[in-house]
């Protein structure tokens, strides 16, 4: 599918086969995800959710403690460490699965990778102070996502002459900077960053990036896509996030057929089923 991409990626001792699409299951450990917000409740539910995603065939569990939603509470690095590190430690101990940490903070990168995280997933592409150095020191693979890096002013409308080329150019320059900081090329995964707000895409740009997704492979890195329940689906279907499962699955299939090596989703079991039937058809 993409000869310049190594097939097996070492994620802190656990191997990820990049010769086929992998499902990354989203695990939120933000207390506001749950009604009572209690810390023990959050921990137990996170572990239960992780078990379900492992049993459903996830290849990676992505653990995040800081919401990127516009207007979401900004939390300190210490609070983010307190939320994610115990969950990362428990999941990487209990399950034979690659754990990624969804963070932009240098302190969280250091603590999470010490606790067993095998991938650093940063929606700000290691732009925050110390993040690049912390990721390089951790020796684990990194996911660099395109975004505006900071939340735009309300009313900001993103504009690109050619969204695929501009996003590709940004990702290529971040990937080069990573290599100068000592991160091996083989340990870099790119993500065009679907979605509005800080991610900087209108629904029309998201749709163009899906249509032209295979062009991102020209950069020569594995590519991840996160489209699950995102607002461009709501813009097309005029529905709410909890009504976007079938469209999320349809887009996951389009992305898998366009060569995405990792697909980041809420609904692991359903997505794994889609990829299995697609694989069976391909093998017929
Ligand atoms: C509010 C806004 C809540 C945005 C949740 C989100 C991605 C990611 C996220 C992605 C990578 C969501 C996002 N999205 N990491 N983290 N790629 N690499 O919809 O698309 O899950 S958070």
Give the CATH number, domain containing residue 42.
3.20.20.20
Report the separation in Å between the CA atom of 218 and the middle of ligand 1, taken as the mean of its atom positions. 24
Is residue 266 within 8 Å of residue 241, measured between CB atoms? no
Which pLDDT tens digit goes with each residue over 122-135?
Answer: 999 999 999 999 99
Q: What is the pLDDT of residue 32?
A: 58
Spacing, Cα 152 to ligand 1 middle (Å): 16
Tell me the CA distances in angstroms from 235 to 68, 190, 247, one per residue in order: 20, 25, 12
Whether 55 is in a domain gets the answer yes
* Active site amino acids: 230, 264
List the domain range (segments joined by +) for residue 65.
8-283
Residues with CB under 6 A from ligand 1: 26, 67-69, 102, 121, 123, 143, 145, 191, 193-195, 224, 226, 230, 264
- Mean of pLDDT over the chain: 94
CA 142 to ligand 1 center in whole angstroms: 15
Report yes or no on 162 lying in a domain: yes
User: Cβ contacts of residue 273 below 8 Å, gap of 6+?
Assistant: none
In whole angstroms, what is the distance from residue 210 CA to residue 200 CA? Answer: 15
Instruction: Choose which residue among 195, 228, 268 to substitute to test ligand 1 binding: the one with the highest number of ligand atoms within 8 A of its C-beta.
Output: 195
Ligand 1, closest atom to CA 230?
19
Q: Per the domain annotation, does 1 fall within a domain? A: no
CB 242 within 8 A of CB 198: no
Instruction: List beta partners, residue 207.
Output: none
**Of 18-32, 60-74, 121-135, 205-219, where does mean pLDDT reach its minimum?**
60-74
Q: Are 25 and 265 in contact (CB under 8 A)?
A: yes
User: Does 140 map to a domain?
Assistant: yes
CA distance 104 to 88: 16
pLDDT band at residue 42 using 50, 70 and 90 as cut-offs: confident
Residue 105, pLDDT > 80, answer yes
> For residue 33, what pLDDT is reported?
47
Structure confidence at residue 31 (pLDDT): 74
Is 2 among the domain residues?
A: no
How far does residue 13's CA lie from ligand 1's centre (Å)? 26
- Ligand 1 atom nearest residue 197's Cα: 2
Task: Assess if residue 147 is contained within a domain.
Answer: yes
The residues near 264 (Cβ < 8 Å, ≥ 6 apart) are 24, 26, 62, 224, 225, 226, 228
Percent residues over pLDDT 90 in the chain: 89
If one counts the domains in the chain, the total is: 1
The pLDDT value given to residue 71? 77
């Amino acid at each position: 599918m993409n000869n310049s991409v190594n097939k097996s990626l070492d994620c802190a001792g656990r191997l990820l086969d990049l010769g086929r699409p992998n499902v990354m299951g989203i695990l939120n450990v933000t207390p506001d995800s749950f009604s009572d917000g209690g810390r023990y409740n959050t921990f137990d539910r996170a572990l239960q959710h992780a078990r379900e995603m492992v049993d459903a065939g996830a290849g990676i569990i992505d653990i995040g403690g800081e919401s990127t939603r516009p207007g979401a509470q900004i939390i300190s690095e210490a609070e983010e460490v307190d939320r994610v590190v115990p969950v990362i430690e428990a999941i990487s101990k209990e399950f034979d699965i690659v754990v990624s940490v969804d963070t932009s903070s240098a302190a969280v990168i250091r603590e999470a990778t010490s606790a067993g995280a095998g991938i650093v997933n940063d929606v700000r592409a290691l732009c925050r102070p110390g993040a690049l150095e912390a990721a390089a020191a951790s020796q684990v693979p990194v996911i660099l996502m395109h975004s505006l890096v900071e939340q735009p002013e309300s009313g900001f409308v993103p504009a690109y002459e050619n969204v695929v080329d501009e996003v590709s150019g940004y990702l290529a320059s971040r990937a080069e900077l990573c290599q100068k900081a000592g991160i091996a090329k083989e340990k870099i995964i790119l993500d065009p960053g679907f979605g509005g707000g800080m991610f900087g895409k209108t629904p029309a740009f998201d749709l163009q990036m899906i249509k032209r997704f295979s062009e991102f492979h020209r950069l020569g890195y594995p590519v991840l896509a996160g489209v699950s329940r995102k607002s461009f689906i709501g813009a097309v279907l005029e529905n709410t996030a909890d009504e976007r499962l079938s469209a999320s699955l349809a887009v996951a299939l389009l992305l898998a057929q366009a060569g995405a090596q990792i697909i980041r989703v809420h609904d692991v079991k359903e997505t794994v089923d889609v990829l299995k039937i697609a694989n069976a058809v391909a093998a017929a």
